[in-house]
Amino acid sequence: MSRKYFGTDGVRGTVGKDPMSAEFALRLASAAAQVLVPAGGTVLIGKDTRLSGYMFESALEAGFVAAGADVLLLGPLPTPGIANLTQVFDANLGVVISASHNPFHDNGIKFFDGSGAKLSDDVERKIEKLLLSPAITLESGKLGRAKRIDTARDRYQEFCASTFPADLNLEGMKVVFDGANGAGYKVGPRTLNNLGAEVITIGCSPNGRNINDGCGSTEPELLQKTVPAVGAAVGIALDGDGDRVVMVDEQGETIDGDQLLYVLAMSRQEEGALRGPVVGTVMSNLGLEHALQRHNIEFKRAAVGDRYVLEALRESGGIIGGETSGHMICLDKTTTGDGLVSALQVLAVMRRTGRSLSELTGGMSRYPQTMINVRTEQKMDPGQVPQILDAVDQVEKELAHSGRVVLRASGTEPVIRVMVEGEDEALVALLAGRLAAVVAAAAS
C-alpha cells in the first residue's frame, strides 16, 4: 500500500484544500492515536507561527482527546524542540504543525515517536489505513485531557545550550540571527544571548503571514547584506520550523548545508570524535565528496529527506549527516535535524580554532550546480517518462562523465527538481535549462 497523504516529511499542502482541513486534522489525530498512543498516553503538540496553526492545533487536540490521549500544548516551538521534549515529557507522540520552508498559506502536520524519531513508512501506512474510517470518540470517562505548558521554550533553550562545549562561550562574538519569522524567533536569539553573543535579529517579528517571506534559510539575501554591514562574525538563518540552517560568513557569503557538513566532519575528525561515514544525499555537491575523500573520510549518499539521512547514519554507525538545504543531523548531540544545535556546533568550531567561517570552509570547493524546479499539476515520476529518460541520457553524454544529473519529485511541493552538476558552469546551466524544458513539456 503506497502512502496517499504522507510525503517525505509528514502531511503538507495548501490550507483549505485536501488534505489540509480541520476535519482531516481531526481524523489524522484519531488515527495516529489508535496506532501510537496507548490508553491514557500523552501527546505533545507544537507549531510554527502560521495563522492557520490555531485551527489545526484545535482540531488535533480534539481528535487526540476524543481518542483518549492527554494533550500538552507547547505553542510556537521549532520542530526539533518537539522531538527533544517528547523524550523529556516521556510522551508517546510529538506532533508539529508546520510547513517548514513553504509560504504561510501552506501548512503541514508531522510526527515524532516517543524516542524523538520520525515515523517509519510502515507506521505511516498504518495511520493512513485508519483514515478510511471516521474519527473515534470514547465514552466520557475515557476521554483525554488537555493543558498548555508554559515552560517548553525555556526547556528547549536549555537543551540547545547544553550542546555547546561547557569550556567555551560566545563572549565578544557578534552574530546576526534570522528566524524566518518562524518557530525559532525567540529561542534562537535567547540561546545565543545566554551563551554571551551579541545578537542582532532580523526575521524575528512574526505576524502569522510573513513566515519565510524575504527571510530565513531559503531567502538569506538580507542576512548576507547585514552581516558585513554591522561587522558581525557570522550570520545564522533558520527556516520556518527551525530544523534547517544556512549560515553567512563574515564576508557575506552564504554557507550551505554541504559546506557546514564539511566543517563539522573535519572538526570531529581533528578531535578524534568522528565515527562512521559522513552521510549526504543524492543532491549533495560533488565538491563535498571529493573534499572528504582527500582527508580519508568516507562519504555515503542517501535519498533526499533528513529521515533517510538519519536512517543511513543509524545503519552505518555514523554521527554526522545532512542535506544541501541545511537539514543537519548531529547524532552525538541530538536525535533529529536541528538548525540551532547545528549552528552552535559550527560556532564552537570557530571559537575553539579561532578561525573565521570563510577559513573553515576554504578546503572545500563547490562544483557548479544548477537546480530548476518544474511545477506540475499532479504527481509525476520523471523516471517513468520515455522522453525525459532520453533527455537525461543525452545530457549525461554531453557532461562526459564529469558531472551528475538528478531528477526527483519533491515530497513536499508539487514540483520536479531538475539538478545538473559539473565542472563547466555555463554548460551545466545550459543543460539544466534544456532538461527542465523537456520535463515541463511532459508535465503539461
123: confidence class by pLDDT, cuts 50, 70, 90: very high
Structural domain contains residue 326: yes
Alpha-carbon gap, residue 251 to 230, rounded angstroms: 11
Structural domain contains residue 245: yes
The predicted structure's pLDDT at residue 412: 67
Alpha-carbon gap, residue 369 to 362, rounded angstroms: 18
Which of 360, 387, 406 is the C-terminal boundary of a domain?
360
240 and 105 in one domain?
no
pLDDT digits (tens, 9 = 90+) for 378-391: 778 888 899 999 99
Structural domain contains residue 377: yes
- Average pLDDT estimate for 81-108: 97
98: confidence class by pLDDT, cuts 50, 70, 90: very high
Cα atoms in the Cβ-side hemisphere of radius 13 Å centred on 206: 26
11: confidence class by pLDDT, cuts 50, 70, 90: very high
Is the pLDDT reported for residue 401 higher than 80? no
Structural domain contains residue 280: yes
Structural domain contains residue 327: yes
pLDDT digits (tens, 9 = 90+) for 18-31: 999 999 999 999 99
2: confidence class by pLDDT, cuts 50, 70, 90: low
- Average pLDDT estimate for 335-347: 96
221 and 84 in one domain?
no
Query: 100, 284, 325, 342: which one is catalytic?
Result: 100
93 and 65 in one domain?
yes
Structural domain contains residue 272: yes
| Residue 187 near residue 179 (C-beta atoms within 8 A) | no
The predicted structure's pLDDT at residue 413: 75
Q: Name the average pLDDT for the chain.
A: 95
139: confidence class by pLDDT, cuts 50, 70, 90: very high
| Residue 33 near residue 39 (C-beta atoms within 8 A) | no
Which of 94, 118, 150 is the C-terminal boundary of a domain?
150
pLDDT digits (tens, 9 = 90+) for 157-170: 999 999 999 999 99
The CATH number given to whatever domain includes residue 129 is 3.40.120.10
Query: Residue for cell digits 552574530?
Result: 175
114 and 37 in one domain?
yes
For 96, 180, 427, the CA distances from 306, given in Å and listed in that order, are 16, 20, 30
Query: Residue for cell digits 545530457?
Result: 395
Burial label for 256, CB within 10 Å (0-12, 13-18, 19+), is buried
Give φ, ψ of 73 to 5 degrees: -95, 120
Point out the least confidently predicted range of 156-170, 212-226, 364-378.
Answer: 364-378
403 and 429 in one domain?
yes
Query: Residue for cell digits 495548501?
Result: 14
For 20, 194, 231, 383, 437, the CA distances from 336, given in Å and listed in that order, are 25, 23, 32, 30, 36
385 and 352 in one domain?
no
Tally of domains in the chain: 3
- Average pLDDT estimate for 36-52: 97
Dig out the grid coordinates for 29 from the structure.
489525530
| Residue 347 near residue 170 (C-beta atoms within 8 A) | yes
pLDDT digits (tens, 9 = 90+) for 281-321: 999 999 999 999 999 999 999 998 888 999 999 999 999 99
| Residue 3 near residue 31 (C-beta atoms within 8 A) | no
Which of 325, 360, 395 is the C-terminal boundary of a domain?
360
The predicted structure's pLDDT at residue 159: 98
Q: The domain containing residue 418 runs over which residues? A: 369-443
124 and 246 in one domain?
no
42: confidence class by pLDDT, cuts 50, 70, 90: very high
208 and 350 in one domain?
yes
214 and 84 in one domain?
no
| Residue 282 near residue 303 (C-beta atoms within 8 A) | yes
Q: Where are the alpha helices (DSSP H) in 317-424?
A: 339-353, 357-360, 386-399
Dig out the grid coordinates for 192 from the structure.
545565543
392 and 328 in one domain?
no
The predicted structure's pLDDT at residue 127: 97
Structural domain contains residue 1: no
| Residue 278 near residue 322 (C-beta atoms within 8 A) | no
Structural domain contains residue 39: yes
Question: What's the sign of the alpha-carbon dihedral 377, 383, 385, 389?
Answer: positive
- Average pLDDT estimate for 195-211: 98
Could you give the percent of the chain with pLDDT greater than 70?
99
**E strands, 91-244, in order:** 93-97, 106-113, 146-148, 174-178, 198-202, 234-238
The CATH number given to whatever domain includes residue 413 is 3.30.310.50
Is the pLDDT reported for residue 352 higher than 80? yes
137 and 197 in one domain?
no
The predicted structure's pLDDT at residue 243: 96
Examine the residue annotation and report whether 120 is marked as an active-site residue of this protein: no
Is the pLDDT reported for residue 126 higher than 70? yes
90 and 190 in one domain?
no
- Average pLDDT estimate for 418-437: 94
pTM: 0.90
